[in-house]
Amino acid sequence: MRRIGIIGMGYVGLTLAAAMARKGFRVHGVDVQPSVVDFLAQGKPHIFEPGVTEAFTELIGDTITVSHELPQDGVDAAIICVSTPVDETTHEPYLKNLAAAAEHVVQRCTADTLVVVRSTVPVGTSRSIVLPVLLDAWGSARLVMAPERTIQGQALRELVELPQVVGGLDDESLRLGLELFGGLANQLVPVSSLETAELVKLTNNCHTDVIYSFGNEVAMLTERLGLDPLEVIRATNLDYPRPDIAKPGYVGGGCLSKDPYIMLSSGVRAGHEPKLIGAARRLNEELPVHVAERMVSLMQETGGKTITVLGWAYKGTPPTDDMRGTPIETMMPVFERAGIRVLGHDPLVTPEVIQKYGGEPVDLATGFAEAHAVLVITDHPEYRSLDVKAALAGTQIKVVYDSWRILDAAAVTEQGVRYAGLGYEVAA
């Protein structure tokens, strides 16, 4: 089983293609977007992830090929990695991409092909959406669910080192799924069903969302109590033999911004509303809006109408250019209503993308020179190493909101600049 088709060259499919090609599989990537196919065919990935560009540059045309459809003679295994977004209004999962991918598989492959669902889906989807398409065409099917669980910035390493969960339609499907992923991952975790594997992915990400939300809850309290959330959390965690409390921070990305809604949909359809998961997601989504509103209030107190935002991707460590679930998306309407001009800088996000989200792209020097306030959204290494004293010298900046507390607070206040962070403010 060495000829692999990967349908969907988004983040999940792209990184899997690079990792499997590195392991000696012959990978045929498929995507419906002509620009994605064109760029990848030239060995130029459209998504930033360490090691992926090198893999495609080296292996495209050799063990990696990319086109808008699978080969005419099929593949040994077809791995479905298409997007499963949620509706912005209803938050219901959109699964038509998944059904379309399954339809394409049956047009090019046979019942001997192992079909793998890797997209994140509501529990029961592999059986209710993908399986009927396969059975209608072939009469029988080999089907597994094997969720992707990597973190951006470390995907190629984690695809090999993280345990790979595999659930099968039947014993033969499971055997083939374990054989396939045994050629990639160091450790395999067979589970009893497609549905178990689906819920594993949702449980991983929803648990992470809940953990982060508790740190944010603490920050909302300390802001009102006049305390330092990092001091509270540091003392809470130190040598205490219970689970650590997470530091406050923005929670976004392609998974954490949608998977809780997929879990909620799964629960509601089964007759149970997962209340904790819904509350955690709401809190994490409200945080960027709260910060933007607090930023507007601080600027009204100190004067000025121009803010420089540092960090437009959804996170800075590990570095990424991914804008899915980015805090700036819900912050911008707050700034626009207040009539605030927004300058933008990010080490990886392109000027075109910053403009698309309503910002004016600038370099760091211009951002500090023209602004009355600075908002640090991500903890990108470039911002961690920033000489903030030198950056502030001679500027009109009156407020620095350091979301991740990565700057030297004393150096900021010594310049006569007000300093704040999530759940923390130094008195003026």
Closest by Cα among 192, 102, 186, 205 to 148: 205
Alpha-carbon distances, residue 77 vs 40, 96, 176, 247 (angstroms): 21, 21, 9, 42
pLDDT exceeds 90 at position 119: yes
3-192 has CATH 3.40.50.720 classification = yes
Give per-residue pLDDT as tens, 300-327: 999 999 999 999 999 999 999 999 999 9
Going from N- to C-terminal start, the domains of the chain cover: 3-192, 193-428
pLDDT exceeds 80 at position 427: no
pLDDT exceeds 70 at position 428: no
pLDDT of residue 48: 92
Closest by Cα among 96, 387, 404, 128 to 266: 128
Task: Report the Cα–Cα distance between both ends of the chain, in Å, rounded.
Answer: 66
Give per-residue pLDDT as tens, 148-191: 999 999 999 999 999 999 999 999 999 999 999 999 999 999 99
pLDDT of residue 252: 95
Helix, strand, coil shares of the chain, percent, nearest 5, are: 45, 15, 40
Closest by Cα among 114, 38, 34 to 74: 114
Q: pLDDT averaged over the chain?
A: 97
Mean pLDDT in residue range 339-343: 98
Question: What gap in Å lies between CA 147 and CA 129, rounded to an integer?
Answer: 16
pLDDT exceeds 70 at position 331: yes
Residues 79/6, Cβ–Cβ less than 8 Å: yes
Question: What gap in Å lies between CA 158 and CA 256, rounded to an integer?
Answer: 18
pLDDT band at 1 (very low <50, low <70, confident <90, very high): low
Place of tokens 């707050």: 334
Residues 418/298, Cβ–Cβ less than 8 Å: yes
Q: What is the DSSP string of 352-419?
A: HHHHHTT-EE--HHHHHHH-SEEEE----HHHHT--HHHHHTT----EEEETT--S-HHHHHTTT-EE
> Which helix (H) or strand (E) element contains residue 11?
helix 11-22
Closest by Cα among 178, 420, 133, 388 to 299: 420
pLDDT of residue 65: 97
Question: What gap in Å lies between CA 194 and CA 124, rounded to an integer?
Answer: 8
Question: What gap in Å lies between CA 46 and CA 10, rounded to an integer?
Answer: 9
Q: What single-letter amino acid sits at 315?
A: K
pLDDT of residue 304: 93
The structure's pTM equals 0.94
Mean pLDDT in residue range 379-390: 97
User: The tokens of 355 are what?
Assistant: 């403009």
SS3 call for 309: strand
Alpha-carbon distances, residue 230 vs 212, 233, 304, 334 (angstroms): 14, 5, 29, 27
Q: What single-letter amino acid sits at 84?
A: T
Q: Residue 69 contacts by C-beta under 8 Å, 6 or more apart in sequence?
A: 30, 104, 108
Give per-residue pLDDT as tens, 54-91: 999 999 999 999 999 999 999 999 999 999 999 989 99
Mean pLDDT in residue range 250-275: 96
Sheet holding 64-67, edge to edge: 64-67, 26-30, 3-7, 77-80, 114-117, 142-145, 164-168, 188-191
SS3 call for 230: helix
CATH code of 193-428, in short, is: 3.40.50.720
Question: What gap in Å lies between CA 172 and CA 178, rounded to an integer?
Answer: 10
Question: What gap in Å lies between CA 255 and CA 85, rounded to an integer?
Answer: 10
Phi, psi of 418 (to 5 degrees): -75, 140
User: The tokens of 349 are what?
Assistant: 């996000």
pLDDT of residue 426: 84
pLDDT exceeds 70 at position 19: yes
Mean pLDDT in residue range 205-226: 97
One fold for both 3-192 and 193-428? yes
Q: Which runs of consecutive H residues, i.e. helices, occur in 126-274?
A: 131-138, 155-161, 171-182, 194-225, 229-237, 253-256, 259-269
> What percent of the chain is modeled with pLDDT above 90?
98
pLDDT of residue 201: 97
Give per-residue pLDDT as tens, 265-283: 999 999 999 999 999 999 9
User: The tokens of 328 are what?
Assistant: 């700036």
